[in-house]
Structure 1
């Protein structure tokens, strides 16, 4: 859909996504609608139900500063650890942390993961 996915993490009750939007075409609102519609259909099919709302609220943030972007990458890749699901995010199946570690040059990986994420202002109280 023209987006360049940078980081993602999916949980039973929320998800995080960082990506570069295309100059033209599918924008944030339409992308979010598609993600919610398609994932709700898939989850409902697994549970044998129809029409159930899966995602209840959503918000997006336009990242305009490089440090904000790098900190969000670290935050999303570390989120499974933050929620106590795993000790090492790269072992969490529904997160891009492993891909990021295996496909990113070491200096960039170390730079991203050196960012402190405890002060990032993201509502993420889903425990």
Structure 2
């Protein structure tokens, strides 16, 4: 989105024409890889503004995600939260974006799930802030998980994200993260070993401008 704004009117027209000629939406990148089992899903607030700016909003969004994603409607936070279509394996909710690591059976359900989730919270938050027709969400992106190493590095990336963005000094200090579920179920040593064996390094370093 941000690079697009820097283009001239002619360059924008050429880019849109090319995307349409390829059968892509005019502005949003296509979700090309749909046949993998695991995906990292990332959702950003419009213009990266911090609309998820309170603990209560982050908790509310997390509750709704699990409620909508989980066929049973249960609010249980666990990597075993199953639906007919997906399983949530890891998560983190930050002030202006969030990440989910999911196991997907039917990729095509994701767009509808996000529309329902974001529509619900957008209406409520706009009412709370006494604004109308404010765009809160930009779009969602997906990154297919390629290997076991990629999978565990993604878990580490998700848990480290609050530290990466300077919100806390330790992943354990951020409440809206699955690191606490893994700490309870797998133990601190498992998390340490996972971090050592599957380091984050520069994972996701070029994603902040999407």
Q: Aligning the two structures, in what range does the TM-score lie when normalised by the shorter sequence?
A: 0.7 to 0.9
Per-residue deviation, 1:37: 2.1
Q: Give the match for residue 14 of structure 1.
A: 97
What are the equivalent positions in structure 2 for 1:38-117 lying under 5 Å apart? 38-105=120-187, 108-114=190-196, 115-117=198-200
Structure 2: which 5+ runs fail to align?
1-68, 70-82
Q: 1:84 to 1:49 in 2, by over 3 A?
A: same
Question: 1:57, 1:11 → 2: CA distance?
Answer: 15
Per-residue deviation, 1:108: 4.1
Structure 1: which 5+ runs fail to align?
none
In the TM superposition, what whole-angstrom CA distance separates every residue of 1:81-100 from its partner, at most 9, and x where no partner exists?
11111111122122222222
TM-score, normalised relative to structure 2: 0.51
| Conservation of the 8 A alpha-carbon contact between 1:91 and 1:98 | no
Question: 1:30, 1:5 → 2: CA distance?
Answer: 16
Equivalences, count: 125
| Conservation of the 8 A alpha-carbon contact between 1:89 and 1:98 | no
RMSD (Å) for aligned C-alpha atoms: 2.5
Question: 2:170, 2:204 → 1: CA distance?
Answer: 23
Structure of larger gyration radius: 2
